[in-house]
Structure 1
Amino acid sequence: MRNKKILVTGADGFIGSHLVESLVRAGHDVRAFVLYNSFNSWGWLDQCSADVAGHFEVFAGDIRDPNGVRTAMKGCDGVLHLAALIAIPFSYHSPDTYVDTNIKGTLNVVQAARDLEVARVVQTSTSEVYGTARYVPIDEAHPLQGQSPYSASKIGADQIAMSFHSAFDTPVVLLRPFNTYGPRQSARAVIPTIITQIANGQRRIKLGSLYPTRDFSYVEDTARGFMAALEAPKAIGEVINIGSGFEINIGDTARAIAEEMGVEIEIVTDDQRLRPEKSEVERLWADNSRAAQLLGWTPAYGGREGFGRGLGETIAWFEDKENLRQYKSHLYNI
């Protein structure tokens, strides 16, 4: 894919903006698909690094519009499809938008890729499709369980993408990141929720359930996984986990952040942050051996030590006053 045109959907978001930066720095010709809006905002790309700004093309559109997706994809050799609705609480009361964006949006991407004979499509999945682990570490053969409308929509999107590979030989790779964290992440996610509360002087930290475990992956590792999936010759038609291989519960995550920030905290359960009992995913822990085998990818921020380094870099970004003021830590963000 060197010297080829790469389309990144969802480029204005958390992972997408980091991915655009990584691709540009690696010498790729990047077209960034951002959600059209009347403010002409490019999301996090408006604040991309100085060495990247001006070195990528922007296409403003809507992933739900097949004509716009096809237009954006013309002339592209590869597609990294990240555009999606991802907030689980919002999916409880607006599930129809998740079907339109995640499932129909993915259909638009693979249909255009098929018609335009794009050389590779990387579909973004999520560890949420596994639901609560039936065994650990979770490999790619683990059963899929739609425990929220969000996860159900992502299962549907994944199946649409892989069906095009099976039916039409569309060159699809299905990348399944576990819980990515890092600078620019939305405060609807737990790590920014904790950091922004502490950084704004709060010591009684409001959280939901403290007992679920997660496999947190630093955003630079996730971006490297996407870039590897774009080029690895054996990846087409495969489902591949991207995770750190390290499991930690939410309570211990909050305490690790507090220790890194040099404060003592009290954790308070906020009922509105609790998922419905059967919808809570209690345990996630990635088996990332297939990524090593097929992509040559291993986490640079793996294990407890790597998690600590990733937290340090994330905290440093959020503690910058210019960054912190963009977050409303006093509100519950769904």
Structure 2
Amino acid sequence: MQSLIEIQQQLLPDVLAIMKKRYLILRQVMLSDMIGRRTLAASLDLSERVLRAETDFLKEQGLLHVETAGMRISESGRKLLEDLEPYYKEMFGLTELEQRLRKHFGLKHVWIVPGDSDTSPHTKRELGKAGATALRKMMNKDDVIAVTGGSTLASVANQLTTQTPLKGNWFVPARGGLGESLDYQANTIVSTMAKRTGAHYRLLHVPDHLGEGAYLTLMQEENIREVVDVIRSARIVIHGIGDAMVMARRRRVNEEVIEALKAEGALAESFGYYFDREGAVVHKMPTAGLRLEDILETEVVIAIAGGGSKGEAIAAVMRFGHDDILVTDEAAALVITAILDEEQQASF
């Protein structure tokens, strides 16, 4: 049986487009607490004239409060968004996208949030919220959860809460530090996750990029070895995905290695490994943390990454075939499906 949204899309496509636009306006205002018209127009890629007409309508309906300092959502507007929550994925066509990606890559679950986290901080916050929801759903009592670094995982940490303290659970860094902003290092993120959920955590105080000699020496240290053993026992791994060249430079990899990565067709990076377009590992860095063989044995692997710029990289890591759950945004999902469409056309 067709849903109401599907019927509207066939009979009244213009109404559905207006509904989506007004939903996005209300949602953006709610996420911002208070926002000016110019900032709102820029974040939604609407002209100020169009936005003014829409916000005037929403104000007349009692869904928005317009003040000198900006706009804020009313209680009626907040309630309307809550009522629409079960339908928004279908309204934006995200349910169909989720099903397609899940089936194509053989995943257990796919979550897609609307928007593009490359350009919208609010979408990135929603991506973190969805990642936190996915992680909570998969966590059991006394789990060890290994976490990589990066801004997206930091967003997950900031959105993670639980009503029941996870006293038996441990959060651990999947790797050492990248030398980037402290807020985005795995050690900081696992500390935040543990504190927000009442769980325990262990830290790994070693650089992520190690030479072979330094790696072997560090692995002989009893304290480090003990933490690494805990990391490699993780039942859940939650990780980000990056562009291969961007991540190589963040790791301060020398030009010789960068040229080698280019020659090997490296497109994506995740948990210290570089993948080509087909999902094959073309390069790995010695790291005190999770190894590829640990990923292959991990019970639950959750990838969280978004933004149109990462679409190709996400597709490459999904082809690696050892993720169970993907949390991404609409922009990345559309890039991935465009890649799949091109490949399908090329095969005919």
Q: Choose 1 or 2 for highest CA Rg.
A: 2
Structure 1 and Structure 2 fold alike (TM over 0.5): no
- TM category, shorter: 0.3 to 0.5
Task: Report the structure, 1 or 2, having the larger helix content.
Answer: 2
TM-score (norm 1): 0.32
